[in-house]
Amino acid sequence: MTEFVGLRTRLKPGMEEAYEKAHAEVWPELLAAQREFGIKQYLIFRDGVDLFHSIECENFEQAVAKLAGHPVDVLWQAEMMKYVVTADNGTGAAVDRLRLIYHR
């Protein structure tokens, strides 16, 4: 069954352009790993410093767990920490999962 997930993260002020540039050049190895782990589509929308992620996948929790152990994702996430507000414990981006209200 396909799962649709919405996430919200926030950019550090002034990092908007650099973040967009980084995502214009997403590493092919990362895209391949995402596909391998069941991510069918990954969209990111920006409103000022707020980022809204829309993910279509087979099993989000499983995909995230597998990606977390993949060397290319570890490197990508380390790169992204330059741009995004991190969690209070400093372990990664501060991520809010959004509640799905409507899907047709």
DSSP 10: E
User: pLDDT digits over 32-45, tens only?
Assistant: 999 999 999 999 99
Residue 65: the pLDDT is: 95
User: How far apart (Å, rounded) are the C-alpha atoms in residues 29 and 69?
Assistant: 14
User: pLDDT digits over 48-63, tens only?
Assistant: 999 999 999 999 999 9
Using the structure block, give the residue that is written with the tokens 């290319």. Answer: 72
Query: What domains can you pick out in the chain, each with its CATH number?
Result: 3-98 (3.30.70.100)
Residue 77: the pLDDT is: 93
- pTM of the predicted structure, to 2 decimals: 0.90
